[in-house]
Amino acid sequence: MKNTLLYIPLFFTLPLLGNKPVINDTIRIKEVVIRTRNVDTPVSGYKKTTIDTAILSFNRNKNLSDLLLENTGIFVKSYGMGGTATPSFRGTGASHTIIDWNGISINSPMPGQSDLSLIPAGLIDEIQIYYGGASMQLNSGGIGGAINLETKPIFKRETIISANSLSGSFGRYSGLIKVKSGNTNLQTVTKAFFQKAENNFRYLNDKISFEPIWQTRNNSQVQQKGFMQEVYFHRESYTASARVWYETSDRNLPASILTLQSNSNEKQFDESLRTMVNYDISVPQGNFTVTAAWLMSRLNYSNQLADIDSRNLSESLMLKASYDDRIGDYSKLKVVLDRQSDLIKSNNYDHNTTRSTTTLTVSVNRKKEHVCTFFLLREIIIKNKIQIPDFSAGVQIGLINDKDYFLGANISKNSKIPAMNDLYWSPGGNSNLKNEHSLSTEISYSMKEKIADIIEIKYDLSAYHNVITDMILWHPGEFSYWTADNLKTVKATGLESTLSANYSLDNFHSGFKLAYSFTKSVGGRSGISDDASVGKQLIYIPENQANYLLTLGYRRLYSTWVACFVGKRYTTSDNSEYLTGYVVNNLTAGIKIPIKKSSADISFSIDNVLNAEYQSIAYYPLPGRSYNIKISIQFVKQK
Amino acid sequence: MKKLTNLLLLLTVLVACKKTPDIPSVNYTMGGGVYIMDEGNFMGGNGSLSFYSYDSLKMYNDIFTKANGRPLGDIPYSMIIKDDNAYIVVNNSGKIEVADQATLQSKATINGLISPRNMMVINDSKAYVTSLYSDSVAIISLSNKSISGYINIRRTSEAIVLVGNKAYI
């Protein structure tokens, strides 16, 4: 019996960390060429992490919000599956996180943020996460950080067709099909997805009445579908690409459990069309890249009871040109010119509204021996008005020769232009708003070590301090509606730490990852009289958050255990009310079956194994224990 | 094996313990005063009840939540006092909270009403509740603290007054 108990953890495991093959067969493959734009240049002294293909592949049926919550220290505030989900990076708000698609911001210009529930993980090939000042390498405005969603080709003479389906509790179904085909010069990638959920789970409502009542969540159905088409062409010196991403989301919005459930009839329809063309060319003097993108986003919200019929359409045209070149033996210069023009048509604005911004960024990255330095200067021009320049400087020092032990530090002054809703929403928008500014400092330590070629250990620790001034807040105004103003100073201080290890021997693989983040994000002085939020933690930002991931695999079998802890979150700005912390455990077990060069993968997972009762947003319950079965098939045909 | 079993049992006990919040009983109405109702934001569930004490000249905010450890609900719209009980009509939560009128500690919740608006006590055992979105007036049994029936008036209703033995809606 004792021995049996010892084997139980082995059942819940998988080789997810790293790209460890499950099958121990050695297959020699032909050389392939992976080409992508130069968004991903590593820069010293900043924190940047990557969610790689292995984790994305394993989570391809999830959306970006679940993926980030389970695998990073980023807190995601979510209304539940399919419901609006927004990120909070290093103690900042949702609009302080920039979401990019291949280096182009896809944040809606209206609220200035992205709904992570509308981004399926299955469409993305790699996710790069830029923390704090590191985000300035990508775009402006990411006071908290930035997330870049990469879709990139592998130039290989083969055709891969993969199909993935999931069926689960609470009427959940999803499907994803990918077709990749081409040769060493031309590649086409087609991805299509569908997702549907009833979300009709049971929960105990102990807030509505004298005696707790079991209720079933209603008006919570969600349906999403879309596709992405990519075409890539490359020769020796250049690569050209075109991408289209279309999707729709139709969802009913459940009400707070404090209201009569049958009264709820809120609905939201989202539609987005994103197109992008890109041309990279290497010339003797350096690399030149041009990207043009046109993005359309539609959001219609209706609430019959409240007599609201909100219709919103935004279109953005973006042009981005960059040039990089070596200066001497140790330095690299990069110049980026970025132009974005937005058009908003909304029945919540007084009239159609436009805005154009131009950004010029110059950066120098220098590496000599064990010291790397980086400096960036950025100028933003809005409606022909020059803003106060932003800058960032970082340094990284290698502590031991030929070993991966590093100390890093950076200081950044970043700014975020007001969202269009803050400026023009009627009523309450304030066209006189100033930019929000942040001054952040960060020190970090990181190491990576291999022991006896079978164990790899990674550790990193970062401490940061960020002061945000002129933060925009909506507050009760002089009249009967709320209005936006630059009111607040916020000081965010925190620690982030990640420890991971991989072990691989013969047919057995294991790995674990433990991430912890401490975030103290405190409201400072504000323009509100008798402001009770001064000195208090910002709402919906947990001080403590941790993730745990254990993976084990033996031959074709694999399993994972993911645990996610989110600490206490205040729900009122004077910190008088709060949501208690929670731990959610997810378990998965599966088997991979190779069939010649193709393969099948069948897995079973239990989410929220311990049936924890929890809420991400006050009075919006999240599901208890649920079950999913997933089947994936992949056909490979080499030409 | 026995030690392991004992350990598991101990863990079960440890995780099963849940501290019940200790909510002090406060008599707000000593010395007299006035209740002030705040509807909050529609669909926000942040309505509240305050009491202004004539005796201490103090304002006590959010007293229902403080007395019961749970929010009052979405759009508390009207309130009447009958004997020792306060009847708080919470419109968009579709309910009436029955609480001690001095301490606001909850005694019962009358659920299942459709957009209730105003309540009128007809006699010692019966009250009527109007409805914004249904064509009936609900009859409330004050002794059972529950819905005892409906009067179909074929249209929605708002205010209600009692003159003599007639209710005007």
Distance in angstroms (rounded) separating the CA atoms of residues A408 and A414: 19
Q: Could you report how far apart the first and last alpha carbons of chain A are, in Å?
A: 53
Lowest mean pLDDT among A44-58, A89-103, A120-134, A351-365: A44-58
pLDDT tens across A80-97, in order? Answer: 877 889 999 999 999 999
Do A324 and A301 form a contact (C-beta atoms < 8 A)?
A: no
Closest CA to A550 of A152, A12, A153: A12
> What confidence category does residue A52 fall into, taking pLDDT thresholds of 50, 70 and 90?
confident
Establish if B117 touches chain A: CB-CB under 8 angstroms.
no
Mean pLDDT value across residues A335-342: 96
Sign of CA dihedral B15, B19, B20, B21: negative
pLDDT tens across A367-410, in order? Answer: 888 899 999 999 999 878 888 899 999 999 999 888 889 999 99
A-chain residues near B95 (CB < 8 A): 208-209, 260
pLDDT tens across B73-94, in order? Answer: 999 999 999 999 999 999 999 9
Establish if B79 touches chain A: CB-CB under 8 angstroms.
no
Mean pLDDT value across residues A332-361: 95
Mutation target among A5, A6, A79, A210 for the B interface, most CBs of B within 10 A: A210
- Residue A2 confidence (pLDDT): 44
Establish if A304 touches chain B: CB-CB under 8 angstroms.
no
A-chain residues near B71 (CB < 8 A): 207, 258, 619
- Residue A423 confidence (pLDDT): 95
Q: Which helix (H) or strand (E) holds A53?
A: helix A53-58
pLDDT tens across B97-115, in order? Answer: 999 998 999 999 999 899 9
> Which residue of chain B is at minimal alpha-carbon distance from A307?
B42
Token digits for A611?
């049936």
Q: Which runs of E-coded beta strand occur in A452-532?
A: 455-476, 482-505, 508-526
Instruction: Name the minimum distance, in Å, from the CA of A205 to any CA of chain B.
Output: 11
Whether A259 and B45 lie within 8 Å, measured CB to CB:
yes
Residues 549 through 568 of chain A touching chain B, CB cutoff 8 Å: none
Closest CA to A344 of A336, A334, A354: A354
pTM for this model (two decimals) = 0.86
Angle (CA) A168 A619 A266, round 5°? 75
Residue A371's identity, in one-letter code, is: V
Establish if A259 touches chain B: CB-CB under 8 angstroms.
yes
Whether A255 and B108 lie within 8 Å, measured CB to CB:
no
Question: Residue A425's Cα: distance from chain center in Å?
Answer: 27
Please give the mean pLDDT across all residues of chain A: 89
Please enumerate in sequence order all residues whose Cβ is within 8 A of that of A432, keeping only pairs 6 or more positions apart, or say none. none
Whether B95 and A209 lie within 8 Å, measured CB to CB:
yes
Q: Which residue has the tokens 């592998």?
A: A154
Establish if A3 touches chain B: CB-CB under 8 angstroms.
no
Closest CA to B116 of B99, B102, B137, B101: B137
Whether A306 and B43 lie within 8 Å, measured CB to CB:
yes
- Residue A22 confidence (pLDDT): 39
A-chain residues near B43 (CB < 8 A): 255-256, 259, 266, 303, 306
Residues 131 through 160 of chain A touching chain B, CB cutoff 8 Å: none
- Residue A261 confidence (pLDDT): 63
Q: ipTM, 2 decimals?
A: 0.76
Closest CA to A266 of A303, A235, A221: A303
Token digits for A30?
């032909």
Mean pLDDT value across residues A554-580: 92
Distance in angstroms (rounded) separating the CA atoms of residues A160 and A188: 11
